[in-house]
Amino acid sequence: MAGRQAVKAYLDLVSQACRAVLIFLKDNKIPHTVENIALRKAQQKTPEFAKLNPMQKLPVLEDNGFVLTESDAILKYLAIAYNVPDHWYPKMPEKRARVDEYTAWNHANMRTHISSIFLHEVGFDVLLPRMGQPANPEKLKKVLADLDGTLDKLENVFLKNQAFLCGDDISLADLLAVCELMQPLCSGRDILKDRPKLLSWRSQVQSALSDSFEEAHSVVYQIREKFTAKLSPCSNQDTL
């Protein structure tokens, strides 16, 4: 890639999608810089950022004048443009289709439920006094029930008896999924604690990603510490 400048990633690591992009860049040693955009300060809504992404969302990638939005598109572009190991986004049509199948499902299912849990339990209260108080416990209960069905599908339809979601090696599907499933840890909730198969899968993904995983998720652990410190003693929250 001689002559190319480092890509610039516009990120906020509170976002699970942003963490996935950063992990991929680091794990594959793609030269990059990070521009931090604080969602809690609505910095994605500024006129300057809106010129970059009219949708006013993160993540955004800028590669030598080429601007791309949406984490799914960004990850697949990087996999192709930077010739990363084939297991991430296989060239074989059938294997690539399996990754595409999961990523399409992820956004409409896993992302929807996980984001709802985060907003109900934490939201942007990570910096506000009412941290630790769910906005609506009944709605949260329903969202958790909906997520349970989604986790059943993740385990029985996608993972099955494989090591990873799309086969014997890690792919973009695993990366996107694990970043989603880490998000509830912001409130100390481990949604996989009663699912040994998914716990084993998560551990394998973490091991495969090593330091890049831990670095990207340090913000999750920091939020968890602040959040759980403010939980009442009688809380029945599931913590690690």
The CATH number of the domain where 34 resides is what?
A: 3.40.30.10
Please indicate, yes or no, if residue 217 is contained in any of the structural domains. Answer: yes
The residue among 84, 113, 146 that closes a domain is 84
Burial 195-232 (b: 16+ CB within 10 A, else e): beebeebbeebeebbeebbeebbebbeebbeebbeebe
The residue among 84, 102, 119 that closes a domain is 84
Please indicate, yes or no, if residue 201 is contained in any of the structural domains. Answer: yes
Residues 48 and 111 in one domain: no
Instruction: Provide the domain limits for residue 35.
Output: 7-84
Residues 144 and 187 in one domain: yes
Nearest CA to 184 out of 172, 198, 197, 170 is that of 198
Q: Total domain count for the chain?
A: 2
pLDDT (tens digit per residue) in 115-149 = 999 988 887 555 444 444 446 788 889 999 999 99
- Helix 172-182 vs helix 110-121: angle between axes, to the nearest 10 degrees? 20
Residue 200, token pair as written in the block: 């084993």
In the chain, pLDDT over 70 holds for what percent of residues?
A: 89
Tell me the whole-structure pTM to 2 decimals: 0.91
Residues 28 and 109 in one domain: no
The CATH number of the domain where 160 resides is what?
A: 1.20.1050.10
State the alpha helices, DSSP H only, in the chain.
16-27, 47-52, 71-81, 93-108, 110-121, 137-153, 172-182, 196-209, 211-216, 218-229
Residue 178, token pair as written in the block: 């694990």
Mean pLDDT of 55-72: 97
The residue among 84, 113, 129 that closes a domain is 84
Residues 217 and 154 in one domain: yes
pLDDT (tens digit per residue) in 143-199 = 999 999 999 999 999 999 999 999 999 999 999 999 999 999 999 999 999 999 999
Residues 36 and 134 in one domain: no
Residues 71 and 101 in one domain: no
